Amino acid sequence: MRVIVCGAGRVGVGIARRLSHENNEVTVVDQSKELIRAVTERLDVRGVVGNGAYPETLEEAGAREADMVIAVTFSDEVNMVACQIAHSLFKVPTKIARVRAQGYLDPRYSDIFSRNHLPIDVVISPEREVSEAITQRMSTPGAFELKTFVDGRVWAVGVKLREDCAIVNTPLRQVAELFPDLKITIVAVKRGDHIWRAHSGDMLEAGDRVFFIADRADVSRALEIMGEAARQARRVIIVGGGNIGLFVAKGLEKMGAMKIRLIERNRKRAEIIAEELERTIVLQGDGLDRSILREAGVSEAETVVAVTDNDQVNILAGVVAKREGSRRAMALINDQDYGPISEAVGVDRYVDPRATTISTILQHIRRGRIKGVYSLSDGDAELIDAVALETSPLVGKPLREANLPEGVMIGAVYRDNEVQMPTGDMVINAGDRVVLMSMRENVKDVEQMFRVSIEYF
């Protein structure tokens, strides 16, 4: 596949890295010579210096032969025009654009991105994506990773095992024997920097990061067994009143009876968001100011989530809040190098917007009947939700005879409005939703399994 990536920022480089590792022909376009030099030195990609919205730049990048344009520059307008030019002049089949400004995403103007106006096939709003990710994780505070599939019926959860965890020093095969009615499948284990597909003989250790796929109804019990039975927060403080903070507050208001306080430094912005929120109390002040945190009730808060546009402020706000009595702290981290640092100083969870955006883009890049994708461990593995077609090699035979690649593990099957856990005797039927984990080197195999074959028509 020939792909043009407009923008050599964190997201652009991340998606270029992923696609180049999968042997796609990738060209990265950016106006910065330094960024293009850096990306071409680090990755097996071609670089073009120029504005991605200019026809001559896209032509130099190979737009006439391109299968896809992914526009993720810092300018919404450049991203939108790049897609328009790619469509009108070069007939590029698939156009993806990142759009941050909420004015473009107002439902009243929803037809602006139609084929007859701005022909963008997929519009990605990072702020909305990240807000939803934060809200989901706050609903299950014991997990450091959470992604839902199949309209929320199947959950993929990441949890870090503590010393007192009931399944530490236990082979995975015994976990299933100890809890036979628990609908979960442990699909991957990360120890240190190494992640691998889970095997029945693997012995879990304290500190391991375990990823499991489960029926939504069994997630709470699974977390309790793993020593992370934290309740959903009832008192929450949000530090930062930008779009993400506003969206998180709105999402939490919909979750029920929850006391929400939001701290915003800018007075004008604080007044604007106070008018938009119904049950959230907005305080104007500095989220690092202990007196403001105390006024917000930090000592009684189960969770403080810091979502300003400054990573250092978010980390410090989490640390200060914990010292003032908050049970948990979550921070928005744009620079992936700060993630481990935030955990080392006491921040319980962090959210990486880059990883969230890349996962959303991958969902639309993957071939086959792929409904959802979520990237794990900076792309070392992926969680995939796919529809089994009649021509799939998985269909019509017991799973033990399916010859799945070594790095692929099925976590759950959704059939007839019921979540089922895979067994060796299970036979996949056409139309089943299959949620699985694949190591990076086997993603192409998964795409092949769920491809639309000519025999399908």
Task: Please state the φ and ψ torsions of residue 76, each to the nearest 5 degrees.
Answer: -60, -40
- Examine residue 456 and state whether it is found in any structural domain, yes or no: no
Contact of 154 with 148, CB cutoff 8 Å: yes
> By C-alpha distance, which of 91, 31, 39 is closest to 63?
91
CA angle 220–224–227, rounded 5-degree value: 140
Is the residue at 414 inside a domain?
yes
169-182 pLDDT, tens digit per residue, is 888 888 878 888 88
Q: List the strands of the sheet with 433-439, edge to edge.
A: 370-376, 381-387, 433-439, 408-415, 418-420
Structure tokens at 31: 């106006």
pLDDT of 457 reads 35
111: its two tokens: 């037809």
- Asked if the structure places residue 455 within a domain, the reply is no
CB neighbours of 275 closer than 8 A, spacing ≥ 6? none
Eight-state DSSP code of residue 171: B
Give the pLDDT confidence of 433-443 residue by residue, as tens digits: 999 999 999 99
The residue out of 307, 326, 350 marking a domain boundary is 350
Angle between helices 126-139 and 243-254 (to 10 degrees): 40
Look up residue 276 and give its two tokens.
């938009």
The total of structural domains in the chain comes to 4
The whole domain housing 137 covers 130-226
pLDDT score for 229: 67
> Which of 373, 347, 371, 349 shows the shortest CA–CA distance to 359?
373
Contact 414, 363 (CB under 8 A): no
Average pLDDT, the chain: 91
Do residues 24 and 38 both lie within one domain? Answer: yes
- Point out the least confidently predicted range of 32-36, 150-154, 233-237, 335-339: 335-339
Average pLDDT over residues 199-211: 92
pLDDT above 80 for 111: no
- Residue 162 within any structural domain of the chain: yes
pLDDT by residue (tens digit) across 68-91? Answer: 999 999 999 999 999 999 999 999
Non-local (6+) Cβ contacts of 193 within 8 A are none
Q: Could you tell me if residue 264 is inside a domain? A: yes
pTM for this model (two decimals): 0.85
Bridge partners (DSSP) listed for residue 419: 414
How far apart (Å, rounded) are the C-alpha atoms in residues 444 and 432? Answer: 20
Q: What are phi and psi of 335, to 5 degrees?
A: -90, 115
Rounded to whole angstroms, the Cα distance separating 239 from 42 reads 36
Q: Using the predicted structure, report yes or no on whether residue 106 has a pLDDT greater than 90.
A: no
195/146 same-domain check: yes
pLDDT value at position 455? 44
378 and 313 in a common domain: no
Q: Is 327 found in the same domain as 380? A: no
Q: Do 215 and 244 sit in the same domain of this protein?
A: no
**Do residues 41 and 118 share a domain?**
yes
Q: Contacts by 340-343 with C-beta closer than 8 Å and gap 24+?
A: 341/315, 342/314, 342/315, 342/318
What's the start-to-end Cα distance of the chain, in Å? 23
Task: State whether 76 and 38 are in the same domain.
Answer: yes
DSSP type of residue 202: P
Distance CA 184, CA 212 (A): 6
Residues 241, 330 within the same domain: yes
Q: What is the CATH number of the domain that holds 398?
A: 3.30.70.1450
Contacts of 192 by beta carbon, 8 Å cutoff, 6+ apart: none
424 assigned to some structural domain? yes
Instruction: Tell me the C-alpha distance between 323 and 343, whole Å.
Output: 15
DSSP 75-99: -HHHHHHHHHHHHHTT--SEEEEE-
Q: How far is CA 241 from CA 158, 159, 297, 330, 456, in A?
A: 28, 29, 18, 15, 50
Same domain, 319 and 249: yes
Tokens read off for 212:
């499991």
What is the rounded CA–CA span in Å between residue 348 and residue 329?
A: 5
Q: 39 with 15: CB under 8 angstroms?
A: no
- Residue after which a domain boundary falls, among 326, 350, 374: 350
Q: Is 410 in the same domain as 314?
A: no
Q: Express each pLDDT in 390-434 by its tens digit.
A: 888 899 999 999 889 999 999 999 999 999 999 999 999 999 999
Helical H segments across 310-426, by residue range: 311-323, 338-344, 353-365
Together in a domain, 72 and 109: yes
Kindly give the pairing relationship between strand 68-71 and strand 2-6. Answer: parallel
Domain boundary among 320, 350, 380: 350
For residue 406, give the DSSP letter: T
- Is 403 inside any structural domain? yes
Whether residue 457 lies inside any domain: the answer is no
**Residues 266-290: pLDDT tens digits?**
999 999 999 999 999 999 999 999 9
3-state secondary structure of 187: strand
Structure tokens at 22: 């999968």
Domain of residue 255, CATH code: 3.40.50.720
Mean pLDDT of 137-142: 84
